[in-house]
């Protein structure tokens, strides 16, 4: 793949970074602090709804393997999902404001449906996008390709974090609307530029227009391989432990240290800076020398240490440690991402790329969704048994550190070559599942 082509393809991740900051960072903070919605409901709505949308990852991944639209296997799914996500982002402030006045069972159900739709569109786009990268790159290219596109994801996060700080310096609802509209328009435009004419077009339909396997059949597919089970277990535990903080980090800064919305938005810039350094160093220097698996493990250890530092900062009231801890967390996430995603792309078969990418995406989401809910639930539970807000957040961060450390055992049992030896039998399982 030519460098220019790769950089243009990475604009999709630049757009994804912008939308994630607003949707999974700023929006949840506004709902909790400015609109006064209980953290447990913020976690359930924003986190649970978003990540539950990943249940579509396997069906649409497989569908893109076997069904072309206008001659394309991946482009239409990726672009269509991205444009729908941008539209949902544009109207999200009004939904959040309405929810703050309508926390009835019906209101919560409608709110959950809204955030679920956002999750569905995001995962349709993301699964097709990862499958496209896998299609366009060889095994030796994927470490660097992952480093480039995920670096641009972090650039989007950093730039949006800075922009958010400027626009929301003095919070108002109108300013928040301006932010979401600008973010939605930018994301839609970048996604279109990134994807148009990247994928070779063919007028020939895929040979096997078979229906996708069910969720149960897809999970059985993964369970049939010992290497799939170890890798799935690693992803589940590592990503669950990491994403417990996803919905609570910015509310944590506001509640414990009384930081403004602009200040907590800069958490994304700290995180993004660390991630960029981790992915560039990992993708272009460390992985070629030490391998994907070792760098993934290094990322896990750094994340565990970072959560320990956040726990200390919260319990001791040491706001000065926040920027260092979050930057270090980002560095660990960068190593984890560039190594783990490259491993994930290797853990596929040529005939069923979309299916396997969808399966790994689903595993991640099965971790992320409950994690987002558990983060808010744990903090609330600690407070209910007598802990201060600072102690409650410290307890959550400490548990995350332990979980990340334990995930390294699962990683140590994974072997990409061993998985490849099991690909043929797995392919037969796919066929059997769809007969």
Encode pLDDT of 291-335 as tens digits: 889 999 999 999 999 999 999 999 999 999 999 999 999 999 999
Give the C-alpha separation, 430 to 355, whole Å.
Answer: 9
pLDDT at 250 over 70: yes
The answer to whether the CB of 61 falls within 8 A of the CB of 355 is yes
Task: Using the predicted structure, report yes or no on whether residue 83 has a pLDDT greater than 90.
Answer: yes
**Nearest-10 crossing angle of helices 267-281, 322-346:** 40
pLDDT tens, position by position, 92-119? 999 999 999 988 989 999 999 999 999 8
Q: Residue 24 has which token pair?
A: 């999974």
44-53, 198-207, 390-399: least confident range: 198-207
- C-beta of residue 357 within 8 angstroms of C-beta of residue 127: yes
Residue 215 burial (CB < 10 Å; 0-12/13-18/19+)? Answer: middle
Query: What residues are paired with 72 via a beta bridge?
Result: 69
For the chain, what are the domain ranges? 3-196+213-434
342 and 292 Cβ atoms separated by less than 8 Å: yes
Please report the pLDDT score of residue 220 as a whole number: 67
Query: CA 322, 324, 330: angle at the middle one, nearest 5?
Result: 100
- Across 72-81, 91-100, 227-236, 412-421, least confident range: 412-421
Average pLDDT, the chain: 83
User: CB–CB of 139/420 below 8 Å?
Assistant: no
Is residue 148 pLDDT above 60, yes or no?
A: yes
DSSP 1-58: --HHHHHHHHHHHHHHHHHHHIIIIIHHHIIIIIS---HHHHIIIIIIHHHHGGGGHH
Residue 350 has what DSSP assignment? G
- Tokens 């990418």 sit on residue: 357
The rounded percent of the chain whose pLDDT value lies above 90 is 34
- Spatial separation of the C-alpha atoms in residues 232 and 10, rounded to whole Å: 26
Q: Cα–Cα distances in Å, from 77 out to 53, 55, 74, 373, 418? A: 15, 15, 6, 28, 32
Cβ pair 10, 194 in contact under 8 A: yes
Q: Say which CATH architecture domain 3-196+213-434 belongs to.
A: Up-down Bundle (1.20)
Tell me the range of 16-25, 49-58, 208-217, 380-389 where mean pLDDT is highest: 380-389
Give the residue, 209 or 283, on which the prediction is more confident: 283
| Both structure tokens of 272 | 């993004």
- Tell me the CA distances in angstroms from 14 to 187, 196, 238, 337, one per residue in order: 8, 15, 24, 15
Model confidence pLDDT, tens digit, residues 358-411: 677 777 777 877 887 788 889 889 999 999 999 999 999 999 999 999 999 999
Could you tell me the pTM of the whole model?
A: 0.69
CA 356 to centroid of chain Cα atoms = 17
Q: So what's the pLDDT on residue 212?
A: 53
**If pLDDT is split at 50, 70 and 90, which confidence band does 163 have?**
confident
pLDDT band at 33 (very low <50, low <70, confident <90, very high): confident
How does DSSP classify residue 104? Answer: S
Confidence of residue 208 (pLDDT cuts 50, 70, 90): very low
Residue 183 has pLDDT above 80, yes or no: yes
Q: Please check whether residue 412 is in contact with residue 278, taking contact to mean a CB–CB distance below 8 angstroms.
A: no
The DSSP code for 385 is T
- Predicted confidence at residue 50, as pLDDT, reads 74
pLDDT higher than threshold 70 for residue 207: no
Task: Please give the helix or strand (H or E) that residue 419 lies within, else none.
Answer: helix 416-421
């Amino acid at each position: 793949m030519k460098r220019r082509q790769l950089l243009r393809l990475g604009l999709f991740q630049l757009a994804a970074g912008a939308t994630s900051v607003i949707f999974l960072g700023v929006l949840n903070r506004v709902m909790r602090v400015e609109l006064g919605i209980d953290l447990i409901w913020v976690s359930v709505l924003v986190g649970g709804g978003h990540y539950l949308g990943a249940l579509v990852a396997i069906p649409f991944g497989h569908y893109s393997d076997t069904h072309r639209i206008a001659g394309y296997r991946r482009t239409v799914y990726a672009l269509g999902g991205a444009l729908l996500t941008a539209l949902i982002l544009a109207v999200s402030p009004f939904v959040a404001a309405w929810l703050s006045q309508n926390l009835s069972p019906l209101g919560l159900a409608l709110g959950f449906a809204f955030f679920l739709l956002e999750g569905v569109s995001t995962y349709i786009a993301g699964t097709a996008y990862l499958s496209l990268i896998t299609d366009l790159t060889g095994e030796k290219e994927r470490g660097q390709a992952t480093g480039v596109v995920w670096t641009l994801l972090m650039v989007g996060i950093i730039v949006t974090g800075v922009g958010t700080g400027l626009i929301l310096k003095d919070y108002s609802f109108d300013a928040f609307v301006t932010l979401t509209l600008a973010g939605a328009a930018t994301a839609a435009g970048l996604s279109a530029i990134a994807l148009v004419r990247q994928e070779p077009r063919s007028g020939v339909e895929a040979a096997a227009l078979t229906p996708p396997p069910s969720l149960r059949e897809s999970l059985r597919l993964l369970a049939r391989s010992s290497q799939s089970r170890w890798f799935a277990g690693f992803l589940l535990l590592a990503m669950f432990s990491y994403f417990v903080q996803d919905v609570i980090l910015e509310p944590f800064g506001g509640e414990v240290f009384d930081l403004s919305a602009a200040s907590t938005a800069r958490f994304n810039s700290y995180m993004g800076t660390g991630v960029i350094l981790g992915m560039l160093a990992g993708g272009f220097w460390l992985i070629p020398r030490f391998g994907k698996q070792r760098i993934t493990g290094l990322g896990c250890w750094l994340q565990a240490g970072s959560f320990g530092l956040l726990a200390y900062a919260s319990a001791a009231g040491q706001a000065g440690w926040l920027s260092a801890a979050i930057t270090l967390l980002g560095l660990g996430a960068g190593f984890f991402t560039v190594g783990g995603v490259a491993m994930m792309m290797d853990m596929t078969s040529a005939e069923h790329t979309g299916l396997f990418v969808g399966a790994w995406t689903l595993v991640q989401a099965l971790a992320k969704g409950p994690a987002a809910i558990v983060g808010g639930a744990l903090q609330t539970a600690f407070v209910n048994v007598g802990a201060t807000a600072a102690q409650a957040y410290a307890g959550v961060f400490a548990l995350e550190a332990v979980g990340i450390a334990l995930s390294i055992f699962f990683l140590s049992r994974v072997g990409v070559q061993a998985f490849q030896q099991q690909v043929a039998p797995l392919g037969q399982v796919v066929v059997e599942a769809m007969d």
